[in-house]
Amino acid sequence: MPYESFSPGRSCPSWGRGMATPPPDGATSPADPPEPGRLHEIRAATAEDAPSAAAAALLMAWGARPENVPHHGRGTIAWLRPERAERRNGRLHGPGLAALGLDPARLLLAVLPDDLALLKAAADLLRSGSISALLLELHGPAHQLDLTASRRLALAAAGTNTPAILLRVGGEPVPSAAWRRWSVGSRASQPLEAGAPGHPAFTLDLQRNRTGPAGGRWQMEWRPDGWRTLEPDHAPQPPLSRPALPVPAVKQVQPLRRSA
């Protein structure tokens, strides 16, 4: 699907409905494009939510408006991944990205051996002004990521007006220069016709916001034309407390009688 045929940065017209927790006044919607020149952090709610957090981080990076980035690398999204993530979670699947409405040709993927190499490459890419957005993926404690390192990334992003997304999987939250911090968890999707798998669905919690109040929870799904907020009557139903298929009743067995 061509890039011009969808608008991943478009705000949902009904983003204020269908939430588990109402957001504070002035809170930022996950559908809003990431601000140019800012560092944003996305954390997986649990280890099992790592794929959902990675998908949400990529979709947010894809929502960066190329026209807001004043350099020649318009349209290119750089994703820096650690080698252990490739071994544990597998490689990206081009046809799967295309099914989400994303053009794999716009993605520059680099796999590096350790966190130090990842942080250095991220800063260099941001300073180069050759990309539209950066996605940096770190796993575990990430001891190399301290406040100084995050400030270095924030300054490099501001220098070229490039949005940077920091994806954290595992490890405790640490002080950082992130403009916003989101916690992302997986959510059951709404089945399509004939029971086909539904669109990817997420639960997003705004934990930090430098431009306004934090807090609030969004229940969102991604379609090829952008983000949508799950309406109350379309929200996925909780798992059934009884079997989905009818189970035959167990008949009481009568004791055999011995014939005379």
What the block records as the tokens of 254 is 């009568």
Query: For 83-109, what is each residue's pLDDT tens digit?
Result: 988 888 788 888 988 888 888 999 999
Identify any residues that bridge with 253 across adjacent strands, giving them in sequence order: none
Identify whether the C-beta of residue 9 lies closer than 8 Å to the C-beta of residue 134. no
% of the chain at pLDDT higher than 70:
74
> How many residues in total does the chain contain?
260
| Distance between CA atoms of residues 118 and 115, nearest Å | 5
Its pTM stands at 0.76
| Residue 69 confidence (pLDDT) | 52
| Distance between CA atoms of residues 157 and 169, nearest Å | 22
Greater confidence (67 vs 145) lies with 145
Query: For 24-39, what is each residue's pLDDT tens digit?
Result: 555 567 777 788 899 9
* Range list of β-strands (E), the chain: 39-44, 77-82, 107-112, 133-139, 164-169, 180-187, 201-209, 217-223, 226-229
Domains of the chain with CATH codes: 33-187+199-232 (3.40.50.300)
